[in-house]
Amino acid sequence: MRRIALAAGAVLLSAAQAQTPVLPLRVADITGEAGPCGPLPPSAPAGQKAYFDLLAERLQTDVLNCPMADAATAAVALAAGEIDLARLDGAAFAPVAGKTRNVLTVRAAGALNRIPVVVAAAQGAPFRTLPDMAGASLVFGGPLKASLDVPRRALSDYGADEAFFGPQTVARDYDEAAVRLRAGEAQAMVLHAGAWQKLCRGDHPGEDRCQDLRVIWRQRPVADQAWSVRTDISDDRRFRLIGIHVALHNEAPEAFAWAVGRAGGEEFEPTEAQALLHQGPTVGS
């Protein structure tokens, strides 16, 4: 009898360990007024209801609404484990960056991904970092968004706006930009990472066409807001959250419109863990 009871206990314990109940998802709703987490009230907007219903169905758990006064309060609550998902800005995220991470941002309609930008110069160039480049002449790798707008935005995010540099020209494409740099017509060349890769990748085994050049700076534009989770979130939940959100605009447009929180969003885009923060020295810092 005792043996049976012990065996029964072991089975129950083992089952309890194997079948960890799914935790609810507590979503911050920054309303200006704090309140306890709970189910959505019947008066909730249809888009918010659609968003919560979809998350509940796909994560197979309860999704709770957590009214928050502001993003900073939401960030503290996220780090403390009181909520699980919050849209933060850089100022709110910075103090809790050790315990939380960014997972998603929104790509605006007609905008590009947050593509990395490369600033390169000749091996013997006198500058080593972006802040060293005050007054340096630049050549951009083309007039398109990816080759001009995104690089300018990324540089500006790090404090290096147009006024920081010297004369700036725009080449027809990355090949021409490299020719101008090598001819000494500019002190540095600014390309998006894809163009840099194309420029430097040779057509013969092991060939590197950029051995005479040096990367001074390589960064993505800083995100202005990002959906964030705790760093101890399980891979399963993090990737499922990302997988649900990146397809939200296709699968549930009304939910997507509410979730992005502002007009003009085209789709959710995954992010690196600290997309809201500078990843290196900024000009003037």
Written as one letter, the residue type at 229 is V
* Lookup result for tokens 């960056």: 97
Task: Based on the shown chain and the rule CB under 8 A, indicate whether residue 1 belongs to the binding site for another protein.
Answer: yes
Task: Based on the shown chain and the rule CB under 8 A, indicate whether residue 157 belongs to the binding site for another protein.
Answer: no
Q: By rule CB under 8 A, what count of residues binds another protein?
A: 61
Select the residue interacting with another protein from 21, 36, 98, 124 (CB under 8 A).
Answer: 21
Select the residue interacting with another protein from 37, 86, 242, 259 (CB under 8 A).
Answer: 242
Residue 145 DSSP one-character state: I
Site for another protein in 45-74 (CB under 8 A): 58-62
Select the residue interacting with another protein from 171, 210, 241, 259 (CB under 8 A).
Answer: 241
Task: Based on the shown chain and the rule CB under 8 A, indicate whether residue 211 belongs to the binding site for another protein.
Answer: no
Written as one letter, the residue type at 119 is V
Site for another protein in 175-204 (CB under 8 A): 192-198, 201-204
Report the nearest approach of another protein to the CB of residue 124 (Å).
Answer: 25
**Stretch of residues binding another protein (CB under 8 A), selected from 20-28, 89-97, 121-129, 182-190:** 20-28
Do the Cβ atoms of 122 and 180 come closer than 8 Å? no
Do the Cβ atoms of 102 and 274 come closer than 8 Å? yes
Q: Between 156 and 197, whose beta carbon lies closer to another protein?
A: 197
Strands (DSSP E) found in 147-259: 168-170, 188-192, 213-219, 226-230
**Phi-psi domain of 81 (left: phi exceeds 0; alpha: psi -120 through 50; beta: other):** left
Angle between helices 46-59 and 253-260 (to 10 degrees): 110
Site for another protein in 69-98 (CB under 8 A): none
Which two three-digit tokens encode residue 67? 């009214």
Do the Cβ atoms of 213 and 110 come closer than 8 Å? no
User: Which stretches of the chain bind another protein, using CB under 8 A?
Assistant: 1, 4-5, 8, 11-12, 15-16, 18-22, 58-62, 103, 112-113, 115-116, 144-146, 173, 192-198, 201-205, 207, 234-244, 246-247, 249-250, 267, 269-272, 275
